[in-house]
Amino acid sequence: MTLVDILMPYYGDAALMRAAVESVLAQDDPRWRLTVVDDGREPGVPEWFAGLDDDRVRYLRNERNLGVTGNFNRCLDLVEHELVVLMGCDDRMLPNYVATVLAAHEARPEAGIIQPGVRLIDGSGRPARTLVDEAKRRVYAPAVRGRLTMSGEALALSLVRGDWLYFPSLCWRASSLKGVRFRQDLGVIQDLALLLELVQAGETLVVDETVCFEYRRHAGSESSATAQTGARFVEAERFFLDTADSMRAHGWDRAARAAELHLSSRLFALSMLPGMLLARQGRGAATLARHAFGRRRAGTLTGVNAPGATDGADYTDRLIRLEQPWWKRVLNVQAPYRWNVRRLFGDREVLDVGCGLGRNLTHLAPRGVGVDHNAHSVEVCRERGLTAFTTEEFGETEYSRPGRFGGLLAAHLIEHMTRGEAVKVLAGYLDCLAPGARVVFICPQERGYATDSTHVEFTDFDGLTDVARQLGLAVERRISFPLPRFAGKAFPYNEFVLIARKP
């Protein structure tokens, strides 16, 4: 008997998760099994599942926080049956979902992906309509009567023109997911990346018009939050240009041209631009404008300048110039920041990731070791008598061994990349930390963020908490330094400081 393996990666609102589970329990067709993988520590959740007393439901709680992508990948490892659903923990199945996807599978057993009919609900569970979803339905999604089968370049072309699928509602043939993973370097667009990988591998999609799933669209989602800061469009720009190269190498030139154009993503950015301007979010507005109006020629993005690089001699020279003003030396402006860093780390040995010219390494000396991708900045550190290495050198040193450090500092690093990239970079150094090691993330607040054209993604307390969670760290405190939070809109040196611990 064919069973549907429903995997639910869970973190966050327990009430919404319970509603999602109850929608599975209410299925008309009994041919399903549910596994919930809990990546959080919400109280009462294990007890609630124990009270269900239903052998079709399996509840697992991760020993440590794996983050969004890590938890999705763990769900892939838990697949046991022929068909698979990676259901959102805030979405709902209608009672006919399992019966609908099983009927589609029986009619089109060759299809690796099934998209059933979906209706939209808001955060409160009421019917909803949004510009994005109306565009999906009216512009990008193909017309379907009954069932429609798609594959090859036609499917890839359709998806890069505008991703009209609803990922949490998809049902997959388990064999099609064998060996694939969600990409750690992507924070929002992992679903489309996985879909296009499978389409290029030859998988087929069947679309069934029967409405059987409720997709929740609310402002608290990762995709909504990153859209409002403009961060998702930095990630999208890189993804679509990489996808264009991949499609062209596959011989799918029409899909490659559509990926280069990524018109739907541009229009989405353009639709959000007025709101960003009204909110006086200059950096976010610039990101949206760059994505909406930039053009690619000969492999580069033109039209609006992209964020500058931080790995060259010019960036090192800029940092040196910023140290020079006489008033900074007379007023000893580093004194409060030196006190704060020393207070946070005490006598721990600390790895300073993204050490730059060694400002914080100087505060931490002699117990600090720095690493940076800019060889010119590392050379300046060494000239100042500090211990620092390039990212390429560090892995060959005595310091790159498990449990070597009691602390890790990432100061003014995370805002120079997308959140997904930050997680990937920092994850590479976690093994160097001893259990219980202190981890400190520092990012500029609004006014400081706006002063540097190389900044990529504004990252506030919630953003830093998300990075820590994805890395499996336990957040202990969040402070605004040196002034209260409200000062960050005017004072360029006010910082978000997050203190966490490696379990």
Could you say which of 302, 337, 352 is where a domain stops?
A: 302
CATH number at 392 reads: 3.40.50.150
pLDDT at residue number 230: 62
**Confidence (pLDDT) at 298:** 35
**Residues 142 and 253 reside in one and the same domain:** no
Cα gap 473→265, rounded to integer Å: 33
Q: pLDDT tens across 58-111, in order?
A: 999 998 878 788 899 999 999 999 999 999 999 999 999 999 999 999 999 999
Residue 166 is encoded by which pair of tokens?
């609803």
179: left (phi over 0), alpha (psi -120 to 50) or beta: left
Q: Is residue 308 in some structural domain?
A: no
The whole-number pLDDT of residue 308 equals 52
CA neighbor of 196 nearest in space, from 118, 144, 262: 262
Confidence (pLDDT) at 229:
54
What kind and span of H or E run contains 106? helix 97-107
Position 288 pLDDT exceeds 80: no
CB 372 within 8 A of CB 391: yes
165 and 295 together in one domain:
no
Whether 150 maps to a domain, the answer reads yes
| Residue % of the chain over a pLDDT of 70 | 92
> In the predicted model, what is the mean pLDDT of the chain?
88
Q: Is the pLDDT of residue 7 over 70?
A: yes
pLDDT of residue 175: 94
Q: What is the mean pLDDT of residues 226-253?
A: 81
CB-based burial label for 366 (10 Å; 0-12, 13-18, 19+)? exposed
What integer is the mean pLDDT of 5-19? 94
Give the Cα separation of 198 and 205 in Å (integer): 10
The domain boundary, picked from 268, 302, 336, lies at 302
CA distance 328 to 334: 8
pLDDT band at 412 (very low <50, low <70, confident <90, very high): very high
185 lies in the same domain as 254: no
- The answer to whether residues 298 and 317 belong to one domain is no
Same structural domain for residues 90 and 205?
Answer: yes
DSSP conformation class of 139 = I
Same domain, 41 and 124: yes
State yes or no: pLDDT of 227 exceeds 60.
Answer: no
Residue 261 falls inside a structural domain: yes
pLDDT score at 304:
34
Mean pLDDT value across residues 318-329: 70
Q: Is the pLDDT of residue 497 over 50?
A: yes
Cβ within 8 Å of residue 494, ≥6 positions away: 444, 445, 447, 448, 480, 481, 482, 483, 485, 487, 488
- 465 falls in which pLDDT band (50, 70, 90)? very high
Pick from 71-80, 193-202, 215-224: least confident: 215-224
222 pLDDT above the threshold of 60: no
The answer on pLDDT for 273 being more than 50 is yes
Question: How far apart are the C-alpha atoms of 193 and 190, rounded to whole Å?
Answer: 5
Q: Is the dihedral of CA 390, 396, 398, 404 positive or negative?
A: positive
Structural domain including 96 reads 4-217
Report if residue 98 sits inside a domain.
Answer: yes
For residue range 130-183, list pLDDT tens digits in order: 888 888 888 889 999 999 999 999 999 999 999 999 999 999 999 999 888 888
291 with 320, same domain? no
In this structure, is residue 225 part of a structural domain? no
Length of the chain: 503
Q: What token pair was written down for 118? A: 């979906």
Whether the full predicted model's pTM is greater than 0.75, yes or no, is no
Inter-helix orientation angle 263-278/222-229, to 10°: 70
Question: Which one of 267, 302, 337 terminates a domain?
Answer: 302
**Total domains in the fold of the chain:** 3
Q: What is the pLDDT of residue 301?
A: 36
Is residue 361 pLDDT above 80, yes or no?
yes
pLDDT band at 326 (very low <50, low <70, confident <90, very high): low
Give the least confident one: 40-49, 276-285, 440-449.
276-285
What is the token pair recorded at 389?
A: 């290495």
**Residue 167 counted as domain residue:** yes
**Taking Cα atoms as reference points, which of 145, 125, 121, 124 lies closest to residue 133?**
121
Q: Is 249 found in the same domain as 211? A: no
| Rg, Å, the chain Cα set | 24
According to DSSP, the β-strands at 433-444 and 405-411 are: parallel
Largest CA distance in the chain: 78
**Cβ atoms of residues 471 and 426 within 8 Å:** yes
Q: Of 115-119, 177-181, 203-207, 405-409, which range is least confident?
A: 177-181
Q: Does residue 264 form part of some domain?
A: yes
> Are 259 and 384 contained in the same domain?
no
Does residue 243 sit in the same domain as residue 335?
no
Q: Is residue 272 part of a domain?
A: yes
The pLDDT of residue 231: 65
Distance CA(146)–CA(212), nearest Å, equals: 14
For residues 280 and 194, membership in a common domain is answered with no
Question: Are 265 and 163 spatial neighbours (Cβ–Cβ below 8 Å)?
Answer: no
**What's the confidence (pLDDT) of residue 90?**
94
Residue 223 confidence (pLDDT) above 60: no
The confidence band for 305, taking pLDDT boundaries of 50, 70 and 90, is very low
Which tokens belong to 441?
């993330």
208 and 290: one domain? Answer: no
